[in-house]
Amino acid sequence: MRQTWRWFGPRDLASVEDMLQCGVEGVVTALHHVPTGAVWTPEEIAARQALIARKADGSPSGLAWEVVESLPVSEDIKKQKGDWRAHLANWKTSLHHLAAAGIPVVCYNFMPVLDWTRTDLAWRRPSGATCMRFDLPDFAAFDIHILARPGAAEDYPEPLQNLAAQRFAAMDDAARAALARNVVFGLPGAAESFTLEDVRRHLAEYDRISAERLRANLVDFLAEVAPVAESLGLRLCCHPDDPPFPLLGLPRVMSTLADYRAVLEAVDVPANGVTFCTGSFGARPDNDLPAMMAALADRVHFVHLRNVTLEGSDLRNSFYEAMHLEGGTDMVAVIAAILAEERRRRAAGRADADIPFRPDHGQDILDDLRRKGQPGYPTIGRMRGLAELRGIMTALSHPMVQGG
């Protein structure tokens, strides 16, 4: 397993030296400043590679940009409306430029309107650490009373409607504004951010797009881009929905094993693959993560390792982001399945035997609490997570364990 780290470029509070001191082997980044739908030019790609390749004193870092996260898929492509054909052509051109730069893995997602969705970006834990949280009653309060989406109340059972009304009534204007900001926080590091009116406009445009239609649009997209990636030696990997259940009346089509199987079978080329995110999949109680990893292993091109604690057994739940070895996911079993797949790939002579992973998210601890970095991406919290995950990898790879 290749140890990588998500880096947001010059604006990131973590430096190249910080990554080196954490034991990172490769870097995951994106051109967050380039507008969605535009071409990633060779010059912009090279400029980001140059930043990663050098330490502050100008000496070589030994690090390289190894995974793109993410090359954004525009809302027009997802809806097949507006400028979607031009955006699709630009996406393909960007793939050519990334391949020419030697960056082999491209992560993307097909979540409509919002990327990951949380109601609290700094929820205080008993230890004093903070983490991101999705509180279902608070989200319902946002949906029904702040966004005031038509028909929103019908998406929630009556007890949850009542609790949402109580939560909303107890909030002052500042609390309501903070909740709205958290929910529409948007794509990590992205240049664009949404207002409530932007969200309402996008929701209206999805009004006639069912889950079946959105999945068909995803398949159409992949039918165009996956053969291009295959010809260029690139690996595409779709990130699951986060959280993996419907929100705001929007369809979700990449939440379960069945979802991924349908899309992988529809566009059956090796380049069409999976970003296996244990945090996203783990936020749904009917997802068996070790079994999913084993079932999808041949097409897993990138892995996010993080953990969540669910607060119920329903399909839609409140949850918070736990420490990497806490929460509901059996991280040892998941990593064992990844290492088993790597052994199979080596035996088959595959060039992609070392699967890149990164410690995803993490709780803000120690100096993170003063640094106020990108929500979900604390330096020390992720360093702790990487160290814990590295310990599991080392133990499971030990000859005594292999021999046993």
* Nearest residue to 276 (alpha-carbon basis) of 303, 256, 257: 303
Q: What distance in Å separates the CA atoms of residue 141 and residue 38, rounded to the nearest whole number?
A: 36
- CA 70, 328, 359, 303 dihedral sign is negative
C-alpha to C-alpha distance for 306 and 219, rounded to whole angstroms: 28
Q: Is 260 labeled as catalytic in the residue annotation?
A: no
* Residue 339 and residue 396 in contact, taking contact as beta carbons nearer than 8 Å: yes
- What is the three-class DSSP state of 139? helix
Q: Listing from the earlier edge strand, what are the strands of the sheet with 319-322?
A: 120-124, 130-134, 319-322, 307-310
The terminus-to-terminus CA distance of the chain in angstroms comes to: 21
Which member of 202, 259, 277, 301 is catalytic? 277
- The stretches of 185-243 forming alpha helices (DSSP H) are 196-205, 211-232
The helix/strand/coil state of 186 is coil
Spot the catalytic one: 304, 320, 364, 368.
Answer: 304
* List 145, 202, 324, 361, catalytic entry: 361
From 32, 145, 239, 301, active-site residue:
239
On whether the CB atoms of residues 236 and 301 are closer than 8 A, the answer is: yes
Distance CA 371, CA 7 (A): 16
- In the residue annotation, 239 being an active-site residue is answered as yes
DSSP, res 26: E
Whether 304 is catalytic: yes
d(CA 252, CA 249): 9
Alpha-carbon separation of residue 365 from 11, 310, 329 (angstroms) = 20, 21, 21
Spatial contact of 52 and 26, defined as CB atoms under 8 Å apart: no
Which backbone phi and psi does 359 adopt, to 5 degrees? -70, 110
Indicate left, alpha or beta for 156 from its phi (over 0: left) and psi (-120 to 50: alpha): beta
Catalytic residue among 108, 156, 206, 377: 377
> Residue 16: which H helix or E strand, with range?
helix 16-21
Q: Specify whether 361 is catalytic.
A: yes
Q: How far apart are CA 16 and CA 27, in angstroms?
A: 9
* Strands 272-277 and 235-239, bridge-based pairing: parallel
Active site residue 367: no
Residue 321 vs residues 121, 216, 293, 303, 311: alpha-carbon distances, Å? 10, 32, 20, 17, 11
Catalytic annotation on 33?
Answer: no
The two structure tokens encoding residue 13: 């509070």
Question: Could you give the residue numbers annotated as active site?
Answer: 239, 277, 304, 360-361, 377
